Amino acid sequence: VTAAIIAIGDELLAPGRVETNSAFLTDELARAGIRVGYRAVVGDDDDAIARATRDALVRNDLVFLTGGLGPTSDDRTRDAVATALELEMSVDESILRAIQARFDERGLTMPDVNRRQAMVPREATVLPNRHGTAPGLWITPEAQEFGARKLVVLLPGPPAELQPMYLDQVAMRLADYSSSVVYDVRKLWVAGLPESAVEQKILSTYRSVDNPSTSLLASSGQVEIRLTANAASADEAAATNERLASRLRKLLGEAIFSESEQTLEAVIGGLLLARNQRITVAESLTGGLIAHRITDVPGSSQYFDESFVTYSNEAKTELLGVPAGLFGTGGAVSEDVARAMAVGARRRARSDLAVAVTGIAGPGGGTETKPVGLVFIGLATAREVRVERFHFPGGRRQIKRWSSQAALNMVRLELLKELSSSDASVSGD
Amino acid sequence: VTAAIIAIGDELLAPGRVETNSAFLTDELARAGIRVGYRAVVGDDDDAIARATRDALVRNDLVFLTGGLGPTSDDRTRDAVATALELEMSVDESILRAIQARFDERGLTMPDVNRRQAMVPREATVLPNRHGTAPGLWITPEAQEFGARKLVVLLPGPPAELQPMYLDQVAMRLADYSSSVVYDVRKLWVAGLPESAVEQKILSTYRSVDNPSTSLLASSGQVEIRLTANAASADEAAATNERLASRLRKLLGEAIFSESEQTLEAVIGGLLLARNQRITVAESLTGGLIAHRITDVPGSSQYFDESFVTYSNEAKTELLGVPAGLFGTGGAVSEDVARAMAVGARRRARSDLAVAVTGIAGPGGGTETKPVGLVFIGLATAREVRVERFHFPGGRRQIKRWSSQAALNMVRLELLKELSSSDASVSGD
């Protein structure tokens, strides 16, 4: 069983744009034992979409089209697919009501153009969109020219709409199309080590096995290790991955922060909840990014009350009690200031743990002794205060991102230490 | 002039693989004024490659194929393209000698399979590969069915071979193809209006002209309007875009926040600098995201000293002076609390302007009267304090993003108002 994925949108063909839905679908289809045999990106053009759809359908069993389902006139997918498959379109009243309701909820009048989103081929099953107005469509074309058991699925372009729709409504419907070879994808996420160091630790191990295949993917401050195993059954494929994963776990230890797509901030959230501890943050260089990441986690209000963005020296003194004299001696970017920020934030927020970041984000402000990318991160707990010094590469945003990652990883390792030392004291009783 | 890019290789269709050559070529072609109209990834299959090539060539002037030029039997590109274009293949002795020399240099015997790499269509120009054995090919097919002045370029798959070959040997040869029609891309960015409302305002205008072509792209809280004009010269193309842009400006007015890829936060930074004003933020729902966005802008320390992430009620009271009684009457998510947060933050940070956000990010915590997505944004200046109420769709991250966008847009409109009223008072003197 093979699938084709066609991503639609002029903007996806523009320089600098990355199309991510195809990668998501490729991964998810692999879980169902469905191999992708063709991927394309086409513009907002009826003829191009129709040609790509027909062509893909001849050579593949399943065709997924993403994007171009919006309400505006350059959203061409519905019409083009109907043309390609010779389907008749009509207004689906239930979709119309659902779209109407979304506008009503927000006290807005539904623009006339949104009516287009309720036009669907008669043969289609509608996939409701809980995160947007464009419903998905599940179509089993009858035209015999394409062969038997063909399937065309239309999904909305925004990943925040496409992903839940696929996971909640499409995945289970695909059981009929799954094949005899099953794939299992396993991911291990590493923080605190550069990609080359991760590779050095594990290369000879993962190279020694053909199945699963292993790939590394680095992004600011973390490395994703992806194992893809194939086998005759899902259990066997999972077991094949687990055999290698357990060897990698021994080699990497605590550097692995997640095996479940959990973000670093979500992992920390879990650790804080388990310890019944609360955290605060004092941010100069990161300017709110760490607090933003912490509060991206649902339920973070259980362990996060407040934090401080202190960009100017005066704010550091006034809000966090950093002695003004420190700025004269070592400057705002120094070990002493990072330490004082962490201690001050912890006291001020009456939290168990505080992490503080000061550094030079650039592009200006660097000097020979304090170059752009120099960052001090302070961590204060009831037991100790310590500061680590980093020098991160890249531009302003990358340095902010790296710094937030390093700060959160320091917090994670501290919480693991506390957990294991308290475990030890329990078992020593 | 449009180009198609076809990446070839079974491995590129596997889960977890990212295909990077297409992005490289898209960016480089844009520099030469060549727009990419179609991208595909196909497996190592003669028929699939030939079909994709012919199809791409009908609809585009240039077709770039990457990968599948290696010596092994699953490297199909040369043969498939020769079939598609009905070209005769023969051994090129100079390629054969070059491949032989690479093996000799390293003291190795050339395997017989590498002879395949010396098979080229008679009509092709060979592009030597200084970083590997597979030469590239530059083919101008004569078959009239595809139309005049078509070009097919075959490049090796490894980026370390493809990139120097493109930059050193292909880019300058494209001059003939890039000169005749020049493209100009213009973008207008709109905040504060949903995509459908933007379209309703401008559809009939942009539909009334064929050149430039116009497309809309929405992402949380902003809409990108992209105009692509073509003309015989760069100046003419730019003027063609400007004619439509000036009409759209009249229709959209202050809803357009940028025409230069500047983010909303960068636009606000410019306005604050121009007014010599400073800003602060009090964030509950957005949890640091607004401060993070403000501090993403280089030089933001000139107008941003500090801000407050106040997640708990106690933090709102202690840091911002929000009267504790307000939480009892209207709850933390209310107009009154948003107002008090803005006023308190402005006073505390001694800033000219303060924006405050409180709301329900979900997934939990929503009620019938206060559903997930309900957000109050307060804005305090020396002249006034006001609060706007929003109801945003989507999940937690989307709601945070929408809220930050709405808050920054309120700030922007306020600063524009102040600018124009101060202009008015100057002109009234």
**Distance in angstroms (rounded) separating the CA atoms of residues A279 and A415:** 11
Give the range among A79-88, A276-285, B270-279 with minimum mean pLDDT. Answer: A79-88
Closest CA to B130 of B161, B106, B107, B163: B161
The confidence score (pLDDT) of residue B208 equals 92
State how beta strands A182-191 and A256-258 pair.
Answer: antiparallel
> In angstroms, how far is the first alpha carbon of chain A from the final one?
59
Q: Do A287 and B291 touch (CB under 8 A)?
A: yes
Helix%, strand%, coil% for chain A, nearest 5 = 45, 25, 30
Contacts of B400 in chain A (CB under 8 A): 292, 295-296
Task: Enumerate the β-bridge partners of residue B120.
Answer: B90
Residue in this structure with the two tokens 């744009």, named with its chain if needed: A17
Taking CB atoms and an 8 Å limit, are A30 and B41 in contact across chains? no
Q: Which residue of A has its CA nearest to B300?
A: A311
The beta-carbon neighbor of A27 closest among B15, B203, B295 is B15
Q: Which of A10, A114, A279, A358 to mutate to test the interface with B (most CBs of B within 10 A)?
A: A10
Q: Which candidate from B26, B290, B361 shows the least CB-CB separation from A15? A: B26
Secondary structure letter of residue B304 according to DSSP: B
Q: Which residues of A touch B15 (CB under 8 A)?
A: 26-27, 30, 183, 185, 226, 228
pLDDT for res A293: 98
pLDDT in tens, B213-250: 888 888 778 998 988 887 888 789 899 999 999 999 99
pLDDT of residue B181: 66
Of B51, B57, B56, B82, nearest in space to B69 by CA: B82
User: How far B407 CA sits from the closest chain A CA (Å)?
Assistant: 15
* Residue B183 per-residue DSSP state: E
Residue B180's pLDDT is what?
61
Q: Which residues of A touch B393 (CB under 8 A)?
A: 102, 106, 131-132
- Asked if B288 and A309 come within 8 Å (Cβ–Cβ), the reply is yes
Is a pLDDT exceeding 80 seen at residue A395?
Answer: yes
Among candidates A44, A185, A396 on the partner chain, residue whose Cβ is nearest the Cβ of B298: A396
Question: Could you give the CA distance from residue B418 to residue B353 in angstroms, rounded to a whole number?
Answer: 11
Q: Which of A12, A42, A69, A72 to mutate to test the interface with B (most CBs of B within 10 A)?
A: A72
**pLDDT per residue over A296-337, tens digit each?**
999 999 999 999 999 999 999 999 999 999 998 788 999 999
> pLDDT-derived band of residue A274, with 50, 70 and 90 as boundaries?
very high
The residue in chain A having the minimum alpha-carbon distance to the alpha carbon of residue B33 is A15
Does pLDDT of A233 surpass 50?
A: yes
Mean predicted confidence (pLDDT) in A400-415: 96
Q: Sorting pLDDT into bands at 50, 70 and 90, what band is A426?
A: very low
Please tell me which of the candidates B216, B226, B298 has its beta carbon nearest to residue A72.
B216
| Phi and psi at residue A271, to the nearest 5° | -65, -40
Q: Cα–Cα distance between A38 and A40 in angstroms, integer?
A: 7
The residue in chain B having the minimum alpha-carbon distance to the alpha carbon of residue A281 is B309
Which residues in chain B are contacts of A30 at CB distance < 8 A? 14-15
Inspect the interface and report whether the beta carbons of B391 and A106 lie closer than 8 Å: yes
| Residue A302, H or E segment | none
Chain B residues inside the 8 Å CB shell of A289: 288, 292
Confidence class for position A96, pLDDT limits 50, 70, 90: confident
Q: How far apart are CA B407 and CA B386, in angstroms?
A: 12
Q: A345 in the Ramachandran plot: left (φ > 0), alpha (ψ -120 to 50) or beta?
A: alpha
DSSP A254: G
Distance of CA B49 to the CA centre of its chain: 29
Average of per-residue pLDDT across A277-300: 97
Chosen from A295, A316, A399, A408 to mutate, greatest number of chain B CBs within 10 A: A295
Q: What is the pLDDT of residue B145?
A: 65
Q: What integer pLDDT is reported at residue B429 of this predicted model?
A: 36
d(CA B373, CA B87): 61
Write the DSSP string, B65-131: EES--SSSTT--HHHHHHHHHT--EEE-HHHHHHHHHHHHHTT-PPPGGGGGGGEEETTPEEE--TT
Q: Report which secondary-structure segment, H or E, holds A240.
A: helix A234-252
Which residues of chain A have a CB within 8 Å of the CB of B397? 160, 296
Nearest CA in chain A to B285: A295
User: Which residues in chain B have their CB less than 8 angstroms from residue A42's CB?
Assistant: 38
Q: Do A309 and B309 touch (CB under 8 A)?
A: yes
Which chain B residue has its CA at the smallest distance from A33's CA?
Answer: B15
Looking at chain A, the whole-number percentage of residues with pLDDT higher than 90 is 55
pLDDT given for residue A148 in this prediction = 67
Largest CA distance in chain B: 89
For B198-239, the three-class secondary structure string (H helix, E strand, C coil) is: HHHHHHHHHHCCCCCEEEEEEECCEEEEEEEEEECCHHHHHH
pLDDT for the residue numbered A361: 92
Distance in Å, alpha carbon of A38 to nearest chain B alpha carbon: 5
User: Among all residues of chain A, which has the CA nearest to that of B47?
Assistant: A59
Q: Contact A181/A91 with Cβ under 8 angstroms?
A: no
Put simply, the answer to whether B393 touches A131 (Cβ < 8 Å) is yes
Tell me what pLDDT residue B33 has.
76
Q: At what angle do helices A46-59 and B46-59 cross, to 10 degrees?
A: 170
pLDDT at A284 > cutoff 90 = yes
Of A131, A140, A136, which Cα lies nearest the Cα of A95? A136
* Alpha-carbon span B178 to A26, nearest angstrom: 35
Query: CB distance B196–A131 less than 8 Å?
Result: no
Strands B213-219 vs B151-155: parallel, antiparallel or unpaired:
unpaired
Q: Which residues contact A204 (CB under 8 A, 6 or more apart)?
A: none
Cβ-in-10-Å burial (0-12, 13-18, 19+) of A148 comes to exposed
The pLDDT value recorded for residue B175 is 75
Q: Determine if residue A305 is left, alpha or beta; phi over 0 gives left, psi from -120 to 50 gives alpha, anything else beta.
A: alpha
**What is the reported pLDDT for B421?**
63
Residues in chain B within 8 Å Cβ distance of A14: 26, 30, 185, 226
Question: Is residue A5 a contact partner of residue A12, using CB atoms and an 8 Å limit?
Answer: no
How many angstroms away from the CA of A138 is the closest CA of chain B? 23
B216 Cα to chain A: minimum distance (Å): 8
Cβ-defined contact of A39 to B41 (cutoff 8 Å): yes
Residue A193 pLDDT: 86
- Judge: A296–B13 Cβ closer than 8 Å, yes or no: no
**Nearest CB to A13: which of B37, B307, B311?**
B37
ipTM: 0.72
Kindly state the average pLDDT of the residues A244-251: 97
Question: How far, in whole angstroms, is CA A150 from its chain's centroid?
Answer: 32
Size of interface A-B (CB pairs under 8 A): 239
* SS3 letters across B390-426: EECCCCHHHHHHHHHHHHHHHHHHHHHHHHHHHHHHH
- pLDDT number for residue B426: 40
Q: Which of B85, B71, B77, B82 is nearest to B10 (CA)?
A: B77
Strand duo A279-283 + A306-310: pairing = parallel
CB contact under 8 A, B309 and A298: no
3-class secondary structure, B355: strand
CB A361 within 8 A of CB A395: no
Question: Taking a C-beta distance cutoff of 8 angstroms, is the pair B55, B91 a contact?
Answer: no
- Residues A62/A151, Cβ–Cβ less than 8 Å: yes
> How sure is the predictor about A429, in pLDDT bands with cuts at 50, 70 and 90?
very low
In A316-399, DSSP assigns E strands to 353-359, 374-380, 385-391
Span A101-149, pLDDT tens digits: 888 887 888 888 888 888 888 878 899 888 888 889 999 887 666 666 7
pLDDT score, position B425: 44
Question: A305: which 2 tokens?
Answer: 């009350």
Instruction: Quickly count: other Cβ atoms within 10 Å of residue B166's Cβ.
Output: 22
Count how many residues are written for chain B.
429
d(CA B373, CA B403): 9
Q: Tokens standing for A337?
A: 């200031």
- Is B196 within 8 Å of A26 when comparing Cβ atoms? no
pLDDT by residue, tens only, chain B of 429 residues:
789 999 999 889 987 778 889 989 998 887 777 889 999 999 988 999 998 998 898 889 899 999 998 877 778 999 999 999 888 888 888 888 888 888 888 788 888 778 878 888 887 889 988 888 788 999 988 766 666 678 999 999 988 899 999 988 898 888 777 656 677 788 899 999 888 899 999 999 998 998 888 888 887 789 989 888 878 887 898 999 999 999 999 999 999 999 987 899 999 999 999 999 999 999 999 999 999 999 999 999 999 999 999 999 999 999 999 999 999 878 899 999 999 999 999 999 999 999 999 999 988 888 989 999 999 999 999 999 999 999 998 889 999 999 999 999 999 999 998 766 655 444 333
Beta pairing, strands B136-139 & B151-155: antiparallel
Distance CA B324, CA A288 (A): 25
In terms of CA atoms, which chain B residue is nearest residue A25? B15
Residue A424 has pLDDT above 60, yes or no: no
Name which of A11, A312, A361 is nearest B226 (Cβ-Cβ). A11
Dihedral sign, CA of B140, B142, B143, B149? positive
- CA–CA distance, A87 with A53 (Å, rounded to integer): 13
pLDDT at position A144 is 60
Q: Is the dihedral of CA B66, B71, B76, B77 positive or negative?
A: positive
